[in-house]
Structure 1
Amino acid sequence: MTVEFAGEYFPIQPGGRFVVGREGDLSIDDNLFLHRHFLEIAESGGLWWLANIGARLQATVTDATGGVQAWLAPGARLPLVFATTSVVFSAGPTTYEFTIHSSEPTFRETRREREVEGDSTIGEVPLTLSQKQLLLALAEPLLRRDGTGMSAIPSSADAAARLGWTVTRFNRKLDNVCDKFDRIGVPGMRGGAGGSATNRRARLVEHVIASRLVAKADLTLLDVGETDPADAE
């Protein structure tokens, strides 16, 4: 088992214990919003586990393909069964990501069968070009620079300007995208009082990056013109 962070690799010996936090085997940052001991990787019962040993923060855990995503709350733990597991979390205004590599994964991916005609599976979120461009405009600072905090997420006005849209059009499409994710159970997509617009954008960006719905390679789409009349609404 090996942990990768910021280009450095930290091997974990069989039967060992590896702690991530403000202090520990991987001292990520001196950020006071981060627990001294936040996450623990340890072997138990023939499996490697990732445990949240903090008191407040949660982590988003995904496999390399984005096909599996889980939220690791304080006190919870997950088995590390994938060849590559990504862990994303925020502490105050800063978001961090590290990767766990397993040389002996216990999970084997099942090949997807060829699509046949019929009803779409509930839970899938089809996105138009303009909806993906909206997500990329919001996530662009984080995708371009690793370790960038959520405070770098642009305002609706700045993201609209990046796309050459009016703020009204941007906000309408943002509502539509959030409604799509809310219907499949993604938390934090509904607005409310008390600065919720910023929180909603941050939660949306965290979700689409963790689930690999957008990636750095997709940023070229920001400069693609509209090809579908429906996108011009």
Structure 2
Amino acid sequence: MTFPRLFPGQVLIDDQIGHRVALSPGQSLTLGRAADFPLGLDDEFMHRQFLQVWDSDGTWMITNRGGRLSANIQPRAENSFSQSRLGPGASLPLPLGESAVVFATSVTTYELDFTVAATLRPPTGSCAVERIDGAPMTVGELILNDEQVDLLRALAAPLVRRPGTDLSEVPTVRDLEQTLGWSQKKVNTKIDYLSKALEGSGVTGFSARNGNAPTRRLALARYAQENYWSLRKQP
């Protein structure tokens, strides 16, 4: 199988199943179930517009345009062990060289190969892509009510306030009772219901087989941290 030759400043995207494209500086591409680059065409939980790759004055950026799914960016350079989490609404620079972008719905796990070639000089120009399509709506879109937003933001607060904090700092049920002014029963009921709603929306990590109530609370805290800046109450 022949791969496109990369020139300085280009980025190659490969889905490992026969679909690949090379972008030049100034270009932009959307990836998803009904996007420029197809992902999960038979996966009803995949966002129609999930990721966008775009050029920002010589740096290739990736943006999560979805509302529920997150992705991991895993550099493949020798001696590189760091990875970055790309939550909904977030943007990150793609590392030079080879990397993998990994994400999952409740149907399957996806992995894309990215190769960013070093640029000789920063390109100029803007990039913007819009795509209008008639694809079916993504299954599992989640609309949070005000109390669910309050719960998620309370769970994520210490993780957002002190980046690098581990899950031991996640508020306990008693902490949440005091912060939110709810009863213990209400806190536990809200955690259980929201976990089930996220599972039904195709977000991984919330099925019953993944553990007990404390496990679900920690999973909700991690989800809330990744989505913190996109959590909004309904007008």
Return the structure number with greater relative CO, CA threshold 8 A, min gap 6: 2
Q: TM-score, normalised by structure 1?
A: 0.45
TM-score computed with the length of structure 2 as normaliser:
0.45
